Amino acid sequence: MKILVVGGGGREHAIAWRLAQDEAKHELFIAPGNAGTESVATSLPIGSEDIPALVKWARENSPDLVVAGPEAPLVKGLADALLSIGIPVFGPVAAGARIEGSKRFAKEIMEAAGVPTGKAATFTDAAKAKAALKEYGLPVVIKADGLAAGKGVVVAESLADAEAAIDDMLVAGRFGAAGAEVLIEEFLHGEECSILAMTDGENAVLLPSSQDHKRAFDGDKGPNTGGMGAYSPAPVVTGDKLALIKEKIVMPVIRELKRRGITYRGILYAGLMVNDANSNPSGPLAKSGSTVNVVEFNARFGDPETEAVLPRLGGDFATVLLHAATGCLKDSDIIVKPDCAATVIVASGGYPGHYEKGRPVSFAGSADTGETAKSIVFHCGTRRREDGAIVTSGGRVFSATGIGPTLREAVDNAYKAVAGISFDGMFFRKDIAHRAFGRK
């Protein structure tokens, strides 16, 4: 197949790499890609949000499939534009991507579909929002309605912090239009996990569970980031939970979107809060002895979850993606390998705040991805300089994924891969998968 992957981060490197593992050999392109994707795909000098240029390339090159990585082009209508010229796309149309692009819309869908989630209300007026705070305990969560590059969520521990967050978004206009409406949401206790559901708008296949690490530093300290590491499977998703999540969360949402005329094709990413300690016997997921609430939906693969999940998938990946994109997912079966995987993000000093770019990277091994049977280093934010050197170009720079028969071995293999990378100011968390290891 001729396939175009849109994006240039670790997630897109993992998607292109996994497509390159298929037995059938594909012709792979990536727009724009990075220094690491060069080994598996041809880079196109087109930005991931440049929809006219992507469509022009697709019109001239007739790919069999386009796989969208990030949310922004989907929210802007990439899938709609490609479908209008007859190109199959893995990724939802703009009306579906709103499930990530508008938190209010996501709540509306969940309410209509009877999906468990935290109590919430939306406001455009700061005084009304502040008055409503008394209906929520502490901590309380304040969210910008729109896309705010992962920074639009404040978990406020005090009333003063909650009011400041409301003022920041509604009065000071910190996130512009994305924060012109805010959501006040009940704080959900428990352990988070990420479920990537692949869907063709009718049926869904759940990929193996994973868990992200959102905070910058060890012990879940420091500011929220795009994610500092992941592992799969996530033991918090015990026994029958995956099937229940499909039945009570994923399928009702897909059906509700369908009812509204939206055929959602691609990944429906459910960020879930699992509360084992405080089970709710009347809750919709009571059968598994716990409550599961939706924290958020995303319209795409997670990053860095994808770097931990895709190496565990066997079989022909391109065919499954094409089946989802063309409404034939029921003909597909996902093969999950028994191995565990763990991903450690190597970041630029200062991330998620200000950081320097252009730092040269050196690798202890010969290859830039250090690929072995036990590990691979996906590139997130790298670029090849004119002199051929690889330099940093983002906050998250590498996703080092280790694979092993146990989670412990997978984590050890990931850190061995990290040990082969060096650049000025690099940092990474040393406790990836700590929640899994801390479970009884």
Residues that bind ligand GLY (CB under 6 A): 212, 226-227, 298, 302-303, 305
Q: Which residues pair with 7 in a beta bridge?
A: 32
Q: Which residues pair with 362 in a beta bridge?
A: 422
Residue 381 interacting partner from ligand GLY, ligand AMP, none (CB closer than 5 to 8 Å by kind): none
Q: Least distance in Å: CB of 104 to ligand AMP?
A: 12
Closer residue to ligand AMP in complex, CB, 4/166: 166
Residue 227 interacting partner from ligand GLY, ligand AMP, none (CB closer than 5 to 8 Å by kind): ligand GLY
Burial label, 354 (beta-carbon count in 10 A; 0-12, 13-18, 19+): exposed
Q: Which of 118, 227, 233, 395 binds ligand AMP (CB under 6 A)?
A: 118
371: number of CA atoms within 13 Å, CB side?
13
Interaction between residue 144 and ligand AMP (CB under 6 A): no
User: DSSP per residue over 336-349, as a string?
Assistant: E-S-EEEEEEEE-T
Closer residue to ligand GLY in complex, CB, 221/440: 221
207: number of CA atoms within 13 Å, CB side?
32
Q: Is 375 helix (H, G, I), strand (E, B) or coil?
A: strand
Closer residue to ligand AMP in complex, CB, 168/316: 168
Residue 12 interacting partner from ligand GLY, ligand AMP, none (CB closer than 5 to 8 Å by kind): none
| Phi, psi torsion values for 28, nearest 5 degrees | -110, 135
H/E stretch holding 75: helix 71-75
Residue 305 interacting partner from ligand GLY, ligand AMP, none (CB closer than 5 to 8 Å by kind): ligand GLY
CB atoms within 10 A of CB 353: 9
Going from the C-alpha of 329 to that of each of 15, 255, 428, 430, the distances in angstroms are: 18, 15, 38, 39
CB atoms within 10 A of CB 223: 12
Residue 185 interacting partner from ligand AMP, ligand GLY, none (CB closer than 5 to 8 Å by kind): ligand AMP
With tokens 């300290």, the residue in question is 221
Closer residue to ligand GLY in complex, CB, 194/382: 194
Q: Encoding tokens for residue 210?
A: 């994973």
The answer to whether the beta carbons of residues 205 and 197 sit under 8 Å apart is yes
Contacts of 225 (CB under 8 A, 6+ apart): 150, 214, 215, 216, 347, 351, 352, 395, 396
Q: Which of 57, 105, 187, 427 binds ligand AMP (CB under 6 A)?
A: 187
Q: What is the DSSP letter of 219?
A: G
The answer to whether the beta carbons of residues 266 and 73 sit under 8 Å apart is no
Q: Least distance in Å: CB of 232 to ligand AMP?
A: 17
Contacts of 437 (CB under 8 A, 6+ apart): 407, 408
- Maximum distance among all Cα pairs of the chain, rounded to whole angstroms: 63
Interaction between residue 244 and ligand AMP (CB under 6 A): no
Q: Least distance in Å: CB of 324 to ligand GLY?
A: 19
Q: Report the alpha-carbon distance of residue 310 to residue 288 in Å, rounded.
A: 27
Q: Least distance in Å: CB of 136 to ligand AMP?
A: 10
Q: Is 165 helix (H, G, I), strand (E, B) or coil?
A: helix
Closer residue to ligand GLY in complex, CB, 129/292: 292
Q: Which of 185, 191, 303, 307 binds ligand AMP (CB under 6 A)?
A: 185
Q: Identify which range of 187-195, 238-246, 258-266, 432-440 contacts ligand AMP by CB under 6 A.
A: 187-195
x/- letters, 202..231, toward ligand AMP (CB under 6 A): ------------x---------x-------
Closer residue to ligand AMP in complex, CB, 279/362: 279
Residue 192 interacting partner from ligand GLY, ligand AMP, none (CB closer than 5 to 8 Å by kind): ligand AMP
Q: Encoding tokens for residue 332?
A: 């597909």
Q: Identify which range of 157-165, 182-190, 332-340, 356-364 contacts ligand AMP by CB under 6 A.
A: 182-190
Q: Identify which range of 20-28, 186-194, 203-211, 251-259 contacts ligand AMP by CB under 6 A.
A: 186-194
Q: Least distance in Å: CB of 433 to ligand GLY?
A: 15
Interaction between residue 121 and ligand AMP (CB under 6 A): no
Q: Least distance in Å: CB of 19 to ligand AMP?
A: 27
Interaction between residue 295 and ligand AMP (CB under 6 A): yes
By CB under 6 A, the count of residues binding ligand AMP is: 14
Q: Which of 67, 166, 188, 198 binds ligand AMP (CB under 6 A)?
A: 188
| Cα angle 16, 22, 23; round to 5 | 150
The answer to whether the beta carbons of residues 312 and 339 sit under 8 Å apart is yes
Interface residues with ligand AMP (CB under 6 A) are: 118, 141, 153, 155, 185-188, 192, 214, 224, 271, 295-296
